[in-house]
């Protein structure tokens, strides 16, 4: 059970080959564990492990390749640390093996729409984060279109919660995410953040992933590794618009900023 009276921090751990300077298995496992240790020491509540790149235009990976990337890391974290582990995947087979290897939460950018995903998640009886995306990672940024983005994202997420509830997923195990940057233009992302309260009104905790994302490129014109102050500013706005869980790269800095902002927040 997660306590949502204070903001919950989800630290990002990418275990795709491009996220390590050296492709070797030992070195990548070690550097992943060092990063996890640092994020936990800084106060992360959840570690989100992703083995499939969902960045715009990224190629898909096979089930076996994704499992080879994430399972050793999940097992090693489970052995060494006491933390909540989230698995960032859209593949039901990966969800199943990851949870059985020690992960506690499913983070699916595809909102459990893959064949069999809802049933696996229901059987596993763990929290699930349902995210909105228009299109798929390969084509989503080519020409995103909405008549009313808030209404359309709310409609989609509500519909997914209904499918989940019908399959036996418990209401208390559902989190929602509007999916910043997933099939959204700069203007769409702005509108979505400004209207985030409407998504909270569906009655589920809202998770946001804004850290270092490209809407900041338009706002401050800085490279990915120079977006800390911008990312924190977006997190504070999301907090003021009722977000409960923050998926971030920079754990310590985000926690400090959210603690300060939280002093002025009532919910
Ligand atoms: C999310 O929003 N995002 S992976 C592009 C960037 C920076 C970061 C430089 N998984 C989310 O983090 N899961 C990802 O530009 C996610 N919500 C949830 N629930 C993309 C990412 C990123 C992409």
Nearest to 112 by CA among 103, 121, 124: 121
pLDDT of 267 over the 70 cut: no
Q: Atom 4 of ligand 1 has which residue's CA nearest to it?
A: 54
Q: What spacing in Å lies between the alpha carbon of 209 and ligand 1's midpoint?
A: 6
**Which position among 213, 222, 259, 266 bears the catalytic label?**
213
pLDDT of 23 over the 60 cut: no
Q: What is the pLDDT of residues 114-133, one digit of tens each?
A: 999 999 999 999 999 999 99
213 given a catalytic annotation: yes
Cα separation, 129 vs 139, in Å, equals: 22
- The average pLDDT across 98-111 equals 98
Q: What spacing in Å lies between the alpha carbon of 9 and ligand 1's midpoint?
A: 14
pLDDT band at 56 (very low <50, low <70, confident <90, very high): confident
pLDDT of 21 over the 80 cut: no
pLDDT of 24 over the 90 cut: no
Q: In Å, what is the CA distance from 31 to each residue of 14, 20, 216?
A: 11, 8, 27
- Domains of the chain, first to last: 8-262 (3.20.20.20)
Q: Atom 7 of ligand 1 has which residue's CA nearest to it?
A: 213
Q: Atom 6 of ligand 1 has which residue's CA nearest to it?
A: 213
Indicate the top mutation candidate among 12, 13, 54 to test ligand 1's pocket, ranked by most ligand atoms within 8 A of CB: 54
pLDDT band at 185 (very low <50, low <70, confident <90, very high): very high
Q: Atom 22 of ligand 1 has which residue's CA nearest to it?
A: 213
Q: What spacing in Å lies between the alpha carbon of 247 and ligand 1's midpoint?
A: 8
Q: What spacing in Å lies between the alpha carbon of 210 and ligand 1's midpoint?
A: 7
pLDDT band at 60 (very low <50, low <70, confident <90, very high): confident
């Amino acid at each position: 059970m997660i306590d949502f009276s204070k903001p919950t921090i989800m630290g990002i751990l990418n275990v795709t080959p491009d996220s390590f300077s050296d492709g070797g298995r030992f070195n990548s496992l070690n550097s992943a564990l060092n990063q996890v240790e640092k994020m936990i020491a800084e106060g992360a509540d959840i570690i989100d492990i992703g083995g499939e790149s969902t960045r715009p235009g990224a190629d898909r990976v096979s089930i076996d390749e994704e499992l080879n990337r994430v399972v050793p890391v999940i097992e090693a974290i489970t052995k060494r640390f006491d933390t909540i582990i989230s698995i960032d995947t859209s593949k039901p087979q990966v969800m199943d093996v990851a949870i059985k290897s020690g992960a506690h939460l499913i983070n699916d950018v595809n909102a459990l729409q893959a064949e069999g995903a809802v049933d696996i998640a229901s059987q596993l009886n763990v929290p699930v984060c349902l995210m909105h995306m228009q299109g798929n990672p390969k084509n989503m940024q080519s020409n995103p279109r909405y008549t009313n983005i808030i209404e359309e994202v709310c409609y989609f997420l509500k519909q997914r919660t209904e499918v989940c509830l019908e399959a036996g997923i418990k209401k208390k195990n559902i989190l929602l995410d509007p999916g910043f940057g997933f099939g959204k233009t700069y203007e769409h992302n702005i509108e979505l953040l400004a209207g985030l309260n409407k998504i909270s009104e569906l009655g589920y905790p809202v998770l946001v992933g804004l850290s270092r994302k490209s809407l900041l490129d338009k706002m401050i014109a800085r490279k990915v590794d120079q977006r800390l102050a911008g990312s924190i500013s977006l997190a504070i706005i999301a907090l003021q618009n009722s977000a409960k869980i923050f998926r971030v790269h920079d754990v310590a800095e985000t926690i400090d900023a959210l603690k300060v902002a939280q002093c002025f927040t009532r919910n």
